[in-house]
Structure 1
Amino acid sequence: MTDGSRGEGATDGMMTRGEMAHASGLSPKALRLYDANGLLHPARVDPATGYRYYAPAQLDAARTIAALRRLDMPLARVREALACDPSARTELLLAWWDERRTALATGLVTVESLVTQLGDDAGPGTASGDLRVQERTVPERTVAAVAFRTTQAELVPRFTAAVLDVRTALARGGATFGTEFWVVYHGVLEAPDAYVEVCVPYTGAATPTGAVVLRAEPAGREAFVEIGAQRCAFPQILGAFGSVRAHARERGGTVGPAREIYPVPWSDDGHVADVAVPLGGTVLDPAPGARPSLGP
């Protein structure tokens, strides 16, 4: 018997399977799988009821597993990544991603060539007519962020590693955060390289550390489209960027950097991300000390 919520036999200070699933983005089924494979054992199993409990300190590992499995990283490689320090983990991610790129080299070259040709005619991100652009008001948010140069080919492993690093820094400082993160584009990824900023919204106290800066994301209006997992892939996602940019131009407002917002745990079905642009003059408003990390 396993638990889905805090119930009989609960242990103070521990997390039930349901609580761990909600906080980490791993489903109860995935938690059972990673227990069986030795990646994430419960800290305690009640011998009488079978209730499983996890220590709060295991949450970082659970979120790391969720992020890496979203990339379809094999379990053996995930195990290696969990044993690494942050810098070695980034190198492992990049090395594994390079292996995947090599295996798919022929198809990748074909896709990149086609995207370049389309970009020459229509510019990056041609609008897609089957996407519904919506608008919403967003409150001011405090985010921890890290920025770096990258190419489109290395984007996914780089931003995944950055999300894990930012969450680690926030956890050490005692801040509260969830599964949501953003990828903000300060350049065009079709260029040789571009500035990309990974942001994790948080509440509570936090301290800048290393490359991680803290800043306020101002309140305002934004245009967005909701997309599923299949549309998140490159180059399919370019249509979503084209749609929100076209909507912003029609509005006549100043458009800030485009971004991908991942508000919910990854799933192969349903809504997993928003592609959005700020409207009406809303632009990034970095805290003191943040801007140098974004500039050349």
Structure 2
Amino acid sequence: MTAYLSIGDFSRASHLTVKTLRHYHRIGLLVPADVDPHTGYRRYRADQLAVAQVVRRFRRLDMPLEEIQAVLAADPGSRNERIGAHLDRLREQLGRTQRAVDELRDLLAAGASDDRAIELRSVPEVSAAAITEIVDAADSVAWLQGALGELYAIVAAQGAAVSGPAGGLYADEVFTEHRGEATVFVPCRGPVRAVGRVRAATVPAVELAVATHPGGPDGADRTYAALGAYVARHTLGVPGPIREYYLVGARDTADPAQWRTEIGWPVFRTGGAAR
């Protein structure tokens, strides 16, 4: 004989509220075994408790309800793939959270000061292969890696010699509006023919205050803050795009902790400009 539980008993046994159970019924995630057509009274089978436990744990792992439905409806092979993909996303999110916690602890320990080395540098004009587009800040990391891959492939295919580290130019709007013009370039000797997004470009000479950011994009704001404070204290900032030079990046190592990026703030150098 089939054992049934009222919605109240099922709620107590599953630790899902009655309101939640009704919602899961409405969306088809956890449908009662029996619903009285006259009273709407819901009854559940005892073996549905196992499904309720699975759903509850997935929700504790922040899996969206639509994805839980897809997991429950999938065959065992697809089900494991979906669960594995969600766990991978959780690990990535946990890593981001841990990095943010570590950075916050560092900030609290160090206070507002940041004594990283900053130098003034004259950068000469260079010829380069470049890609210029309007980019959303949220997409900038993926856009940068894609553009760099395309640039290096075109430069190699055309037999041009790379003459320095790749770099980027970022208009003020990238920071102030989180959407603006970005140029990524690879300095090279020899002419570069236009192919796809790639064009020949001349990257102009500039005077920069330069700081090196260790690691991936997370935490770059600290290097930018130190650089901005230095410029405010010691020299005169001038209009012009921020520059980045990618000394060590994803092309060199898969470990972001090993990446090194030089960040350059355009300045007007004077005889008294010093650290």
Q: What is the TM-score when the length of structure 1 is the normalising length?
A: 0.47
Q: Is the 8 A contact 1:226 1:271 kept in 2?
A: no
C-alpha separation between the residues in 2 aligned to 1:101 and 1:195? 33
Q: Aligned-pair distance for 1:237?
A: 0.3
1:258 counterpart = 2:258? no
Give the partner amino acid of 1:261: Y
Runs of 4+ that moved beyond 6 A: 104-111
Aligned partners of 1:275 and 1:176: how far apart in 2? 24
Alpha-carbon separation, structure 2, partners of 1:132 and 1:278? 17
**Secondary structure at 2:261 match in 1:** strand
**Unmatched segments (≥5 aa) in structure 2:** 1-85, 99-111, 270-275
Unmatched segments (≥5 aa) in structure 1: 1-98, 112-126, 282-296
Tell me how far 1:136 sits from its aligned partner: 1.4
Q: CA contact under 8 A between 1:174 and 1:206: conserved in structure 2?
A: no
| 1:101–1:108 Cα contact (<8 Å) kept | no
C-alpha distance after superposition, 1:207-251 (max 9, x if no partner): 12232222222223211111222xx332x1011112223333441
| 1:132 counterpart residue number | 117
Output the CA distance in 2 between the equivalents of 1:195 and 1:102.
30
Flag the structure with larger Rg. 2
Alpha-carbon shift at residue 203 of structure 1 (Å): 0.9
* 1:242 matched residue in structure 2: 225
Residues 1:138 and 1:154: Cα distance change in structure 2 (over 3 Å): same
Is the strand fraction higher in 1 or 2?
A: 2
Residue 256 of structure 2 corresponds to residue 277 of structure 1: no
Instruction: Give 2:203's aligned amino acid.
Output: E
Alignment of 1:1-296 (within 5 A): 103=90, 129-177=114-162, 180-186=165-171, 187-189=173-175, 191-229=177-215, 232-234=216-218, 236-250=219-233, 251-264=235-248, 266=252, 268=255, 272-280=260-268
Find the aligned partners of 1:206 and 1:137 in 2 and give their Cα distance: 25
Q: CA deviation at 1:154?
A: 2.3
Q: Work out whether residues 206 and 266 of structure 2, in 8 Å CA contact, stay in contact via their aligned partners in 1.
A: yes
Instruction: Give 2:245's aligned amino acid.
Output: I
Secondary structure of 1:238's counterpart equals: helix
- The size of the alignment, in residue pairs, is 168
Aligned residue for 1:162, secondary structure, equals helix
1:136-155 CA distance string (max 9 Å, x none)? 12222112111223333322
